[in-house]
Amino acid sequence: MSAKASRPAIFEHVRFSERALNQVMERVEESVQNSIAGDGSMIIAGVEVEMVFSSIQDNVVHFKILSGSDSDKAALAAQFGPAADFGPTTERVHPVACTGRTNLR
């Protein structure tokens, strides 16, 4: 395989497999089926989430949070576990612009 690649392959140990990240995304999909707000944001466990995406490069599922109480954010973190990363955002994105994956540099 390396002989066909344009540059040498780099192998790294990761905390979470791609399968584990996909399982988090599946739980997100189950959680938000009926929780989409009128502006397109999602309400998950009382937290307004603008965007959720899996990042193979960062080896986590990123949640971009618009608002929510500290206790609701703690419950959200407990619900999705250590493979999830939670960060604040003030930006709203157009839903068509999201690809859901950030695998490339």
2 in any annotated domain: no
- Residue 6, domain member (yes or no): no
Total domain count, the chain: 1
Domain that holds residue 74: 18-97
Cβ atoms of residues 61 and 83 within 8 Å: yes
Residue 1 is assigned to a structural domain of this protein: no
In a domain, 104, yes or no: no
Give pLDDT tens digits for 7-59.
888 888 889 999 999 999 999 888 876 666 666 668 888 899 988 999 988 99
Residue 5 domain-assigned (yes or no): no
Whole-prediction pTM? 0.73
- Does residue 7 lie within any of the structural domains? no
- For residue 67, which of 96, 45, 93 has the smallest C-alpha distance? 45
Token reading at 54:
């899996």
Q: Are 62 and 55 in contact (CB under 8 A)?
A: yes
The DSSP bridge pattern shows strands 84-88 and 60-67 to be parallel
Judge whether 44 lies within some domain: yes
Decide which of 95 and 10 is more confident.
10
CATH of the domain at 77: 3.30.300
Q: Tokens 């999705």 correspond to what residue?
A: 80
Residue 27 belongs to some domain of the structure: yes
Nearest to 55 by CA among 13, 85, 11: 85
